[in-house]
Chains A and B, each alone.
Chain A
C-alpha cells in the first residue's frame, strides 16, 4: 500500500525553511544551466538563420571563412552560368561579396568594437530574401553609401539614418536601415562591394565569396558538382546554412563547455543541499516513520514516499529556476565571432525543450538528493525509534 502524497505535502509545509533552502539551491542551479544553454542556442540561431536553405556559398578551396577566401570576377561570371542558379528580372540571382571590419564605438560602453562591413552586389536582396529595407532605401551602386542592419544601428553610435561616418579613409552616408529577421546580418553594415574594394585599397574585381540563390533546395548537388568539376574554378561549395552553422561552432562549444562545467559543479552543490535537507527531515521524523512502519506500511512505500517528497521539492525548484530566467528570453547581448573577429549582437533564446531539460536536470538532482535519505528512513529499526517517544 502506498503512503498518500498529502502526507509529504504536509511534512514539507511543516519544515518550510529547510525546504525553501533546498528549493532555492536547485532553482539557482537550473537557472544558470538554462541561461548558459540559451546563450549558446541564441548565438547559434542568430548565425544559422543568416543562411537560407536554398542558397549556396562559394569560396576558395581551403579557406576557413569569408575573411580568408578570394574569388575573381571571371570566376563569378562562370558561376552565374552554372546549372541550378535561379534567374530573376535583374538577371542571375548571384551576389559577390567582400567582408572587412571597421571599429565603431558601442553605445553601451563607448569603446570600439569591430563591426563587419559587407560589400555586396546590387542584386543581393534577390539572393537574401529575408533581408528587407525598413527605412530609407538601398544604396546606389558606385556611391559610398551604406545600409545598416537593425542591431548595428542600435548598438553602435553614428550609424543612424542620414548620418555620415568615416572609416577606411572614406566618408559614407547612411541611406537605409535593413531588417534581416534576427540573423547575423542585423549586426552588419552593407555597401557596394566595388566601392569598398577601392576605399580599402584592395585589388579590383577580386571578391571573397559568392552566394547564389538556387532554383530549389534539391538543385544544390547539381550546382556543386558542376562547380567542382570546372577546371577554371578551385572552389569549395557549401550550403549557406551549413557555412553559418560551422561559424557558430567555436563560441557555442566555448559557452556549452564552460556553462556545462559550471552547471555540473553547481548541481553537485545543490545535491548536497538536498541531501542535507532530506537527511535532517528523516532524522526529525524518525518517530513518524516508525509509526508508519508499525501501521503496516512496508519498506518500499517509505522509500517511494520520501523520494517523491524530494522530487516535489526539486520540481518546485526547477520550475522556479526556469521562471526566474524567462525574462532573459529575447534579451540582446553582444559577443565576438571568433571566425571573423567581428562583434555580433544576439539574443538569449529560451525554448520549451530547454525548459524541459532544465526541469529534468532539477528532478535528477532531487532524485540523487532524495534516494539515499529515503533508504535510510526505510531501514530504520521500528522498535527503538518508537521507544524514543
Chain B
C-alpha cells in the first residue's frame, strides 16, 4: 500500500479523462443492470415458481374453463397434498391502461397454497367475513394509493357491470421477486354474479404435491383421470407453465444478450483506447521507474491496478444508479410485475466490469512491462 500515492497521482493526472472513463463504465454497468431488470421482468416468474406446485388448465386452452367438480377428484389423486382454484376476472379499474391481474379465489385453500404471500391475520379474518371483500398486493395498492377500508369499483369486461369491492387487506411477498400486483376477491361472489352458463366453472386449479420429485407422475395421473371427458386437462409444473408464457414473448433474452454484447465490446474499445493513451503519455516516467530499479512486474501491476480501480469505481456507480432506477418503479405502469434488480446480477455485473478492466489494461500494461529503458529514455 505504500505505492498508493503513486497510484493516486497517476489516476488523477487528467481529472477530466478519469471522470469520463469512470462515466463510461458507470453507464455501461447501469445499462447492464437495466437489462438484467428487464430480463428478470420477463423471466422472473419462472425463477420463483414453486417446485412443488402444478397448474391444471383446460387442455383446449387457458381461456376455456374446468368444472368445479374436479376439485374433489384431484384432491383424491395419490401424491396430491392440496388443491385450490381461481378464475381470471380481467376487469378494468378506471382506465384500460391500469392493468393488474384480478383473481376470484377460494380463500382458505388459496392461503395454504401460497404461503409466500403474507397478510396480517386481522385483515385476513375481515376478508373471510366480507362477501364483497378484496385483498390487493402491496405494489398495486401503492400504485393507486389504496388504503385498507377503501371501496374499489372495477368494471367487468367479459362479465357486465361495475363490481364494488371493499379493500380488507394488503398482502406482501416474502421474496423480492414475489408478485405484489395481484388483486383477490371471493370466488363465492363471482359464482353468484356470473350468468347461468358460466356457473360451476373455474379457470384453473393449482395443486401442491407431497413430493416434488414425483410431480411429473402426479401431473400425468391428473391428466389421465380426466382423459376422454368433455373437459380434458393439461397439467404442468408451475415452472413449466411460467416458462411457456415467457417463450411466447419471443427471443427477448437473445435480444438482451445481443445488446449487452454490443455494449461491452464498445466499452472495451473505449477504455482500452483511453488506457493506452494514458500509458503512452507516461512512457518516460515508466522508463525512469524501471531505470531506478523497479521490476517489470511492478510496472505491470501499477498499470493494471489503475485500470481495475477505474473499472471497479465505475461499475459500482453504474450498478447503484440501476438500483436507484428500479426503486423509482415500473416505467410502463403495471406491465412488468417483476421490476427489480436481482443481487446475482449485481455480482455478475461487477465481475464483468473487472474483467473488462483487466482486458483493457493488459495491453498497455504488457507494453509498459516490455519497455526498453534505453529507447524510452532517449525519447524524453
A257 and B332 in contact (CB under 8 A), knowing A28-B266, A68-B90?
Answer: yes
A228 close to chain B: CB less than 8 A = no
Q: Does B63 contact A67, Cβ atoms closer than 8 Å?
A: yes
Please tell me if the beta carbons of A269 and B28 are within 8 angstroms of each other in the complex. yes
CB of A334 within 8 Å of the partner chain: yes
Q: Are A17 and B335 touching (Cβ within 8 A)?
A: no
Complex CA gap A7/B23 in Å reads 30
The reply on A157 being an interface residue by CB < 8 A is: no
Q: Is the CB of A21 within 8 A of B20?
A: no
Convert B271-313 into 0s and 1s, putting 1 for each residue whose CB lies closer than 8 angstroms to a CB of A. 0011001000000000000000000000000000000000000
A69–B156 Cα distance when bound, in Å, is: 11
Across the interface, A276 reaches (CB within 8 A) one of B20, B245, B266, namely B20
A-B pairs with beta carbons under 8 Å apart, 16 shown: A21-B270, A21-B273, A64-B96, A67-B63, A67-B158, A100-B61, A111-B247, A114-B61, A254-B336, A257-B331, A258-B332, A262-B31, A269-B28, A276-B20, A333-B250, A336-B248
Known: A102-B61, A200-B64. A113 touches B30 (CB 8 A): no
Separation of A270 and B27 alpha carbons in the complex (Å): 9
Residue of B155, B273, B336 with most chain A CB atoms under a 10 A cut-off: B273
Contact A200 B60, beta carbon cutoff 8 Å: yes
A270 proximity list for chain B (CB < 8 A): 266
Count how many chain A residues have C-beta atoms less than 8 Å from C-beta atoms of the other chain: 58
A64 and B24 contact, CB distance less than 8 A? no
Within 8 Å by CB of B249, from A63, A64, A203, A335, lies A335
Q: Is A275 engaged at the interface, CB distance under 8 Å to the other chain? A: yes
* A residues less than 8 Å from B92 (CB atoms): 64
Q: A168 an interface residue at 8 Å Cβ cutoff?
A: yes
Most interface-central of B38, B158, B232 (chain A CB within 10 A): B158
Contact at B262–A28, with CB atoms within 8 Å? yes
Cβ of A62: which chain B residues have Cβ within 8 Å of it? 155-157, 160
Q: How far is the CA of A322 from the CA of B156 in the complex (A)?
A: 46
**Known contacts A272-B27, A280-B17, A335-B250, A24 near B269 by CB under 8 Å:** yes
Does A239 lie at the interface of the complex (its beta carbon under 8 Å from any beta carbon of B)?
Answer: no
CB within 8 A of A109: which of B27, B35, B157, B247? B247
In the assembled complex, A297 has its CB within 8 A of some CB on chain B: no
Contacts of A21 in B (CB 8 A): 269-270, 273
Give the A-B contact count at a CB cut-off of 8 A. 142
Which B-chain residue is minimally distant from A64 (CB atoms)? B157
Residues of B within 8 A of A275 (CB): 20
Chain B contact patch, size range: 35 or more
Q: Does B206 contact A (CB under 8 A)?
A: no
Cα distance, A169 to B226, chains bound together (Å):
13
Chain B hits for A106, CB < 8 A: 247
| Interface: B2 (CB within 8 A) | no
A167 at the binding interface (Cβ < 8 Å): yes
Closest 8 CB pairs of A and B: A68-B158, A269-B27, A68-B157, A335-B250, A101-B61, A272-B24, A336-B248, A21-B269
Contact with A along B108-152 (1 / 0, CB 8 A): 000000000000000000000000000000000000000000000
Answer whether A18 and B273 are a contact pair too, CB < 8 Å, given A68-B158, A169-B232, A333-B250.
yes
Best-surrounded residue of B31, B99, B197 (most CB of chain A within 10 A):
B31
Chain A residues positioned under 8 Å from B69 (CB to CB): none
A254 to B34, CA, bound (A): 14
Q: A residues within 8 A CB of B250?
A: 333-336
Cross-chain contact A168 with B60 (CB below 8 angstroms) = yes
Q: Does A273 contact B (CB under 8 A)?
A: yes
Contacts of B335 in A (CB 8 A): 250, 253-254, 338
Known: A167-B60, A254-B336, A269-B267. 7 other contacts (CB 8 A): A64-B96, A200-B64, A250-B99, A265-B27, A272-B24, A280-B17, A335-B248
Cβ B62 vs Cβ A201 within 8 A = no
Hey, which chain A residues are within 8 Å of B62, CB to CB? 101, 114, 341
- CB neighbors of B among A92-148 (8 A): 100-103, 106, 109, 111-114
Alpha-carbon distance A272/B250, docked complex (angstroms): 33
Residues of chain A with a CB closer than 8 A to B329's CB: none
- Contact partner of A32 (CB less than 8 A), chosen from B28, B30, B64, B259, is B259
How many angstroms between the C-alpha atoms of A18 and B278 in the bound complex?
13
Kindly identify, within residues 195 to 209 of chain A, every residue whose CB is under 8 Å from any CB belonging to chain B.
200-201, 203
Which residue of chain A is the closest to B155 with respect to CB atoms? Answer: A62
Contact with A along B76-105 (1 / 0, CB 8 A): 000000000000001010001001000000
CB <8 Å contact, A280 and B277: yes
Chain B residues whose CB sits within 8 angstroms of the CB of A73 once the complex forms? none
Bound complex: CA of A374 vs CA of B157, how far in Å? 60
Bound complex: CA of A41 vs CA of B244, how far in Å?
26
* Chain A residue at minimum C-beta to C-beta distance from B259: A32
Beta-carbon contacts under 8 Å, B1-45 to A: 16-17, 20-21, 23-24, 27-28, 30-31, 34-35, 38
Q: In whole angstroms, how far apart are the Cα atoms of A342 and B323 in the complex?
A: 33
- CB neighbours (8 Å) of A268 from chain B are 23, 27
A261 within 8 Å of B by Cβ? yes
The answer to whether B51 has its CB under 8 Å from any CB of chain A is no
Residue of B nearest to A324 (CB): B262
B39 smallest CB distance to A (angstroms): 11
A contact residues around B31 at 8 Å (CB): 262, 265-266, 269
In this assembly, does A370 line the interface, its C-beta being within 8 Å of a C-beta of chain B? no
CB distance from A110 to the nearest CB of B (A): 10
